[in-house]
């Protein structure tokens, strides 16, 4: 997939592509110049360095004609290898190049001279895996299949790792004719910009090795920027724009701000202050099937990051830096640099309350207790931290709107007062019942797996966990059972109503929803 700078390269990698096409057209356009070698190769190299630093997947650069003769090619290849670029694609046209979609019957380079350029590049690479792709422009220039094949075979014999066969007609006829005559003599790359209506599966069956989507991120971004700029100029307001653009937080995430924050905590002397978070992440998450065979649920990938890392980032953004994670299944994989860990080594036979008990010594002063498989908006954490009370639960008043087609258990909760707009003007709300067996017609909401404890609340929870251990009920108890025991002892458990904006990741289908949520 095409990219033209560090940000677009990150988006390509995040989307799951196996490689990046560093398009000459796109990089030139992003600089505001034409695709006619108006951007120097050193300027292109600077852009590529940012792209390479930003990503871990291979980058194939559009090297135009090699930026000159064989000597220029030698130097370019050495410099690309130094920067970790995976390969270069050069085309058999004259320098300075003209974009293939401009004009007709563009002159081609001398075949023997171009073969020498390929050999010079292969002799100069310092990375044994570096690839040179020879782009054959014979179809573009009006030559037929015979000349295209003659050049492709010559370039392959000169050392090209693959040939790129380019065509600008509206059908894939030229490509298919070449593939049949080529008879799998070597890897073939295509660029279906004009013949995009042909299903990709047909290219697979024909033996094409790779497809380049050549300029579509650039074209998509131009349209989006035009629409936003015109609307802002017309409306002089962000009201109808904000809902269509990504959040600033998303930009920070792509730029790697979370990694910088973790590095600051690792390398700068700091004194942690404010509340602590205790995250329960000991379970495998067997409902996720093969996804958790070799990793715990909290470390599954959610749009390029482990689920736990996204949860930790939300706490960090809310000012909570002191984070303790209770590990269990495949515990060594739970190794984020910004967290402390304790272990529940009998997680397979114990429940949530026993997992929380493993962190008993960390339940001090004000703290947040959280399930390890949830995602929620920052304002929910802000609401919870601002709430008064020794034990306060975040409860979703719109729980019925979430649906429950698969019949999964829910932590339903009955409250002293149902949710209504302005409920807080009528005094605090408290829990009067909780648990997955609570009748739905008695429920006022669903506990989302997030609660705040004051110093006194933390002491009450520690004491109850100790009592449960002594009477033998701790092993299989859930957190809702713990809360109900505290309620029956006369402990007031407060409620903060929220209205959606959270989700739990329990099953494979939830991963797609998590993508949308983010």
DSSP state of 303: T
- CA triplet 168, 214, 52: central angle to 5 degrees? 150
> Could you count the other beta carbons within 10 Å of the beta carbon of residue 283?
22
Q: Say how far apart CA 451 and CA 396 lie, in whole Å.
A: 12
Q: Say how far apart CA 158 and CA 505 lie, in whole Å.
A: 53
Residues in contact with 266: Cβ distance below 8 Å, sequence separation at least 6, in sequence order: 337, 338
Q: Active site includes 35?
A: yes
Which of 5, 35, 62, 510 is flagged as catalytic? 35
Chain-centre distance for alpha carbon 242: 21
Q: Which of 410, 399, 385, 430 has the alpha carbon at shortest distance from 480? A: 410
DSSP state of 195: -
Q: Please tell me the chain's helix, strand, coil percentages from 3-state DSSP, rounded to the nearest 5.
A: 45, 20, 40
Are 321 and 336 contacting, i.e. CB atoms less than 8 angstroms apart?
no
Q: Say how far apart CA 484 and CA 479 lie, in whole Å.
A: 9
Q: Say how far apart CA 496 and CA 378 lie, in whole Å.
A: 14
Whole-angstrom CA distances from 82 to 62, 75, 86, 129, 500 are 17, 11, 10, 13, 49
Are 370 and 482 contacting, i.e. CB atoms less than 8 angstroms apart?
no
Beta bridge partners of 495: 393
Whole-angstrom CA distances from 196 to 23, 103, 170 are 18, 21, 8
Catalytic residues: 35
């Amino acid at each position: 997939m095409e990219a033209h700078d560090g940000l677009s390269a990150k988006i390509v990698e995040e989307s799951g592509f196996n490689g990046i096409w560093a398009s000459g057209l796109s990089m030139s356009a992003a600089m505001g110049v034409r695709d006619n070698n108006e951007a120097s190769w050193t300027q292109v190299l600077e852009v590529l360095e940012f792209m390479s630093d930003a990503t871990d997947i291979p980058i194939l650069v559009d090297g135009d004609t090699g930026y000159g003769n064989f000597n220029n090619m030698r130097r370019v290849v050495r410099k690309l290898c130094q920067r970790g670029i995976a390969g270069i694609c050069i085309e058999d046209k004259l320098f300075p190049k003209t974009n293939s979609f401009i004009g007709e019957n563009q002159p081609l380079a001398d075949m023997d001279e171009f073969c020498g350029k390929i050999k010079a590049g292969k002799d100069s690479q310092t990375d044994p895996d570096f690839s040179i792709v020879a782009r054959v422009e014979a179809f573009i220039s009006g030559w037929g299949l015979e000349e295209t094949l003659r050049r492709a075979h010559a370039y392959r014999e000169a050392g090209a790792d693959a040939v790129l066969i380019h065509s600008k007609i509206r059908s894939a006829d030229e490509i298919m004719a070449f593939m049949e005559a080529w008879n799998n003599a070597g890897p073939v790359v295509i660029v279906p910009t004009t013949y995009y209506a042909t299903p990709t599966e047909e290219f697979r069956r024909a033996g094409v090795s790779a497809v380049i989507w050549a300029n579509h991120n650039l074209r998509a971004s131009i349209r989006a920027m035009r629409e936003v700029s015109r609307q802002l100029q017309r409306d002089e307001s962000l009201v109808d724009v904000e809902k269509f653009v990504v959040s600033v937080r998303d930009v920070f995430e792509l730029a790697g701000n979370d990694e910088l924050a973790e590095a600051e905590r690792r390398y700068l002397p700091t004194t942690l202050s404010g509340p602590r978070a205790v995250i329960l992440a000991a379970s495998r998450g067997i409902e996720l099937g093969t996804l958790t065979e070799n990793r715990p649920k909290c470390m599954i990938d959610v749009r390029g990051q482990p689920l736990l890392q996204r949860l930790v980032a939300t706490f960090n953004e809310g000012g909570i830096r002191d984070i303790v994670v209770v590990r269990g299944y495949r515990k060594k994989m739970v190794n984020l640099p910004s967290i402390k860990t304790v272990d529940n080594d009998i997680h397979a036979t114990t429940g949530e309350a026993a997992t929380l008990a493993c962190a008993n010594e960390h339940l001090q002063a004000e703290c947040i207790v959280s399930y390890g498989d949830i995602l929620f908006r920052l304002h929910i954490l802000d609401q919870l931290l601002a709430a008064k009370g020794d034990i306060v639960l975040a409860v979703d008043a719109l729980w019925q709107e979430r649906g429950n087609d698969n019949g999964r258990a829910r932590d339903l909760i009955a409250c002293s007062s149902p949710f209504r707009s302005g409920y807080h003007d009528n005094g605090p709300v408290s829990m009067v019942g909780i648990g997955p067996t609570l009748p739905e017609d008695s429920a006022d909401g669903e506990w989302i797996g997030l609660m705040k404890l004051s110093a006194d609340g933390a002491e009450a929870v520690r004491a109850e966990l100790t009592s449960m251990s002594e009477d033998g009920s701790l092993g299989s108890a859930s957190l809702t059972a713990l809360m109900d025991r505290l309620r029956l002892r006369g402990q007031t458990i407060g409620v903060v109503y929220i209205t959606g904006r959270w989700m739990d990741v329990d099953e494979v289908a939830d991963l797609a929803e998590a993508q949308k949520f983010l």
